[in-house]
Structure 1
């Protein structure tokens, strides 16, 4: 086992442990917005201890049993909006990877292109679904169709921005970092994906800021 593989296993273990820490707490202190009970643990997987810190600093303020005043500023609220988007993308990407791997799928002779298309499609579906679970409970009187339209408007740009960061890193990994890119049955692959998710979050944050400023998306 080389040094990178050891680092990969450690990073994955930290991510999983962070997710479990958050999961245990959201079970004890459920969020007012139910979808955030799923969002926070997912973000723990790639943001690790930072996600745990952000959850206890900002996420716990939105627990049903919280009595503290919510004094989060706009940067923190946009952070939560981006976290919500990122969790949907991450789940979609995690579903898409094994589909491509186990089917041996290639598009135009490229495995990477197959990953791009399948994972973007899955991420988009999960991203819209996550938005729908956020928007519809806030405005049930407007109906499901209206909520779906709002979800598409709110998530499309932020999701594309997320995938730009993520896919960019995947291209670097595929063409630049390794003579033979790691495969999904290797720890190194998922460590690279953790980095991809972080970069996707960073490229999505400005898009979410703009969407919130324009009133297209509500700050969470």
Structure 2
């Protein structure tokens, strides 16, 4: 899934470009099994798949929420959390499906279940890091007026949040790869 690399560059900038040339341009060979200890690079690539789905979903959801004036229990932040999570989970499952299905050659239903098993905990871990940073941004760094998706500063804070999400999702991805629930890529 080469789309992962340019999307990862939205928050990791030149580090994502370096990672693509270092880790992402490998041949289609299978890089390990559930019994092998995953390398740091394999875990980073797996985490990047999760992060790319979260990034695309969050960007779309943030604009939709801001443009629509959507709140949850009177809070824009809670609406962002709920809608971002639902969108990130759905898109993350799609990304995982297209990573898993070609490697395992599973029927559609089994591949979707494998994708859900592989990415649900990863996405939750990613969103925890991002939500933590965005809560800090919302309540501490920019309490009034809050930044909105129509301001560049918001996206700088979201970029930092995505990096925090990558950091909190990395250990979960290592666990999922070790268990054999997620493919080492």
TM-score under structure 2 normalisation? 0.92
Structure 2, unmatched stretches of 5+, are 32-37
Q: What is the aligned partner in structure 2 of residue 190 from structure 1?
A: 155
Which has the higher relative contact order, 1 or 2, with Cα contacts under 8 A spaced 6 or more apart? 2
Counterpart-to-counterpart distance in 2, 1:148 and 1:51: 27
Q: Secondary structure at the match of 1:46?
A: helix
Moved more, 115-124 or 54-63: 54-63
2:165 aligned to 200, 206, 218, which one? 200
Structure 1 residues 22-37: aligned runs within 5 Å: 35=1, 37=2
* 2:115 equivalent to 1:151: yes
User: Aligned ranges for residues 71-220 of structure 1 at < 5 Å?
Assistant: 74-140=39-105, 142-178=106-142, 179-220=144-185
The alpha-carbon deviation at position 61 of structure 1 amounts to 2.3
Misfit runs of 4+, over 4 Å: none
**Structure 1 segments unaligned to the other structure (5+ residues):** 1-34, 65-69
- The Cα of 1:133 is off from its aligned counterpart by 0.7
In structure 1, what is the Cα distance between the partners aligned to 2:183 and 2:102?
13
Distance 1:186 1:63, change over 3 A: farther
How many residues align? The count is: 177
Structure with max Cα Rg: 1
Could you give the per-residue CA deviations for residues 141-164 of structure 1, whole angstroms, max 9, x where no partner exists?
A: x31000000000000000000000
Residues 166-220 of structure 1, C-alpha deviations (whole Å, 9 max, x = no match): 0011100000001322111100001111001000000000000001111111111
TM-score relative to the length of structure 1: 0.77
CA RMSD, 1 decimal: 1.5
C-alpha distance in 1 between matches for 2:27 and 2:136: 38
Of residues 17, 25, 50, the one that matches 2:15 is: 50
| Deviation by residue 1:69-97 (Cα, 9 ceiling, x = unmatched) | x8xx7111111000111101111111111
